[in-house]
Amino acid sequence: MKSSGNIKRSLVSGIKKISIWTFFLSLLAVSFVIFLTQSVLPVSSDSQDLHRLAGEQLALNGRGKIPACVPCHGLQGQGNAGIASPRLAGLHPEYIKKQLEDYARNPLKTRAFVEPIARDYVKTPRTYGDLTVFTPGTRYAPKMNELAKILSVDDRHNLAIYYSKLAFVASPKAYDFETLERGEDLALRGKPEYGLPSCDSCHGPGGQGFGAIFPPLAGQPVTYIIAQINQWQAGKRDNDHLALMRNIADQLTDGDKVNVAAYYDNLSYSVNSE
Amino acid sequence: MKRFFLKWVLIFSFYNMAVLPVAAQELGQTLDSLEVRPSLVNSRLSLPTQLTQVHVISPGEYFAPPLVADIPDDRFGDMVRMGRNIFIKTGVYAKRYAGNGLNCSSCHLQEGRKPHGIPLWAAYGRYPMYRHKTRTVVTIEERIQDCFIYSMDGIAPTLDAPEMKALVTYTKWLSKGAPVGVDLPGRGLPNVSRTQDLDPKRGKIVYEIRCEFCHGKDGKGQKHTNGEGYMFPPLWGRNSYNKGSGLQRVRTLAKFIKGNMPLGASFSLTNQESLDVAIYIWLQDRPRNPKMSQAMDFFFPNMAR
């Protein structure tokens, strides 16, 4: 009798244990299924292809009020040096998306007109450490500002996916020796005696870009690179991370811009191609 | 009753895991929390009170080393070029002596040229000098050996090794025209005054805002896209400098951070911020000091030397 009671008790407790374990197991299974549906499915190649196709459709033909991207950025997204429009093929999708968001932002609503740095060029000017404000960033380009405002979130995503998957092969151009030598010195070593870091230390070796924050310089039209540095100096573009590029652009002379842009235009560079 | 309860627990957990994040994404809310943005936590719209001293460089203030294009085309120039290669790609050109993923130019920034970034041209004329760490007078070769033992976490090249000769030749060429035995402006690291008020929690916030996008969330750096070497060097972990190196001293690291980091925005952190980040990095794990036993390292992991 005693033993059978023990058996009964142990059976009951076993069932209890089993039920607890099944509960935990079911929780695990459910969380695993959720993990699958949430993280694996959205990045599957099929949906990427769908985004890419939708982006291609929009880039080639436009839609309604949205004009096509091709006339300015080229059939293969290679950019147009004549009108200083950038290459988009092979850029990081997050970078393209961020730029479109920044184009769409209204600068009047976000920018507070507080001059953060007292620009009296004495030995040690003072900046106000407690007025560090992280602005979301704006970028001035009349055509793109209007265009980006009518793009939906999905449109931006599709375009970013489409252009990031395009292949691009740069065609290096010839420049005179002195320009290239000075450009290389700036690109690899910067101007240390002025506190200016090299371009390659952030934009990657050979200016090939690094991650979502640092875009490639190689393969971009010379006119585009110079125009962007000019925009930073004029304060028309301020969507860089921690205002790093603004500080650097302030240090560049007109000669530096030409030399370094020529150096990167002289490099061979390819992306997404065999 | 129990079944009922379990069912609701299940439903609630499912809701938490699956529905809430999706809903947040659909609403277009950004998920960055307020904790990592101190300017939003305590919004300071009053008149500015904290004044930061920012370094502005005037032309001719610092020594300008010769250009790489001007390296002579002779045997001496070959040695200089070899030294430069070792300096910027230590893991490739001095593979047998390097122990981690760093290069000489990870600390001696811009190929050893940057003022306040431990420039070589300011160091060459000061050696041989008395060093408090070893309590002896050391030559520049012995100092380079220490760099390899501690900061590179590797093996010291002998005094007659070609790598050592090349590095000393590169240093000598870089300091062409610099005076001997003089403290040049921009030597070593800028000064950061001592303080007892260090907080790794504040340091973590600063790290997340200003360091993480290059050095990575785990501080292990980021490798090049082709997988060879580091684009942004690791700050801690197996591939970083060991516990005997100079940067393991909190104030030295704070000096380095203040004078050089983030790249292109030197002197943008206050003394307090750089000290906080420094102690946050000091607390992380890294290779042990080779001059200290394994047991000591196990029981006193943060005892530097």
A79-110: per-residue pLDDT in tens?
999 999 999 999 999 999 999 998 988 765 54
Tokens 């600063």 label which residue?
Answer: B206
Residue A99, in any domain of the structure:
yes
**Going along chain A, which residue ranges are E strands?**
126-128, 168-169, 270-271
Give the global pTM: 0.79
The domain that holds A107 is classified in CATH as 1.10.760.10
Residue B2, in any domain of the structure:
no
Residue A172, in any domain of the structure:
yes
Q: Are A102 and A141 in contact (CB under 8 A)?
A: no
Residue A168, in any domain of the structure:
yes
User: What does the alpha-carbon distance between residue B108 and residue B104 come to, in Å, rounded to a whole number?
Assistant: 6
Instruction: Say how many CB pairs under 8 Å bridge A and B.
Output: 123
pLDDT at res. B48:
42
Residue B133, in any domain of the structure:
yes
B178-227 pLDDT per residue, tens: 999 989 989 999 999 888 888 898 888 889 888 999 999 999 999 998 88
The domain that holds B208 is classified in CATH as 1.10.760.10
Same domain? B73 vs B166: yes
Domain region containing B275: 200-299
Same domain? B160 vs B246: no
Residue A158, in any domain of the structure:
yes
Best residue in B9, B50, B84 for a mutation probing chain A (most A CBs within 10 Å): B50
Q: Kindly list the residues from chain B whose CB atom is less than 8 angstroms away from the CB atom of residue A194.
A: 57
Closest Cβ–Cβ partner in A130, A185, A210 for B44:
A130
Residue B186, in any domain of the structure:
no
Same domain? B119 vs B217: no
Q: Are A160 and A94 in contact (CB under 8 A)?
A: yes
Residue A237, in any domain of the structure:
yes
Residue A10, in any domain of the structure:
no
Instruction: Count how many domains chain B has.
Output: 2
Q: Other CB atoms closer than 10 Å to residue A56's CB: what's the count?
A: 17
Same domain? B204 vs B245: yes
Helical packing angle, A93-104 and A153-165, nearest 10°? 140
pLDDT at res. A108:
55
Best residue in B57, B89, B170, B215 for a mutation probing chain A (most A CBs within 10 Å): B57
Residue A230, in any domain of the structure:
yes
Instruction: Count how many domains chain A has.
Output: 1
pLDDT at res. A16:
58
Closest Cβ–Cβ partner in A185, A197, A245 for B67:
A185
B168-179 in b/e form (b: 16+ CB < 10 A) is bbbbbbbbeebe
**How close, in Å, is residue B186 to chain A by CA atoms?**
9
State the DSSP code for B13: H
Can you read off the two tokens belonging to residue B233?
């060097």
pLDDT category of residue A26 using cuts at 50, 70 and 90: confident
pLDDT at res. A136:
63
Same domain? B99 vs B145: yes
Residue B261, in any domain of the structure:
yes
**Residue B131, beta-bridge partner list:** B136
Q: Other CB atoms closer than 10 Å to residue A42's CB: what's the count?
A: 9
Higher-pLDDT residue of B43, A257: A257
Alpha-carbon radius of gyration of chain A? 27
User: What does the alpha-carbon distance between residue B205 and residue B212 come to, in Å, rounded to a whole number?
Assistant: 10
Higher-pLDDT residue of B57, A147: A147
Residue B28, in any domain of the structure:
no
Tokens 């405002």 label which residue?
Answer: A149
User: What does the alpha-carbon distance between residue A239 and residue A245 come to, in Å, rounded to a whole number?
Assistant: 9
User: What does the alpha-carbon distance between residue A190 and residue A123 come to, in Å, rounded to a whole number?
Assistant: 22
Residue A175: name the closest of A232, A222, A118 by CA: A222
Same domain? B204 vs B166: no
Sign of CA dihedral B245, B248, B249, B253: positive
Domain region containing A218: 45-271
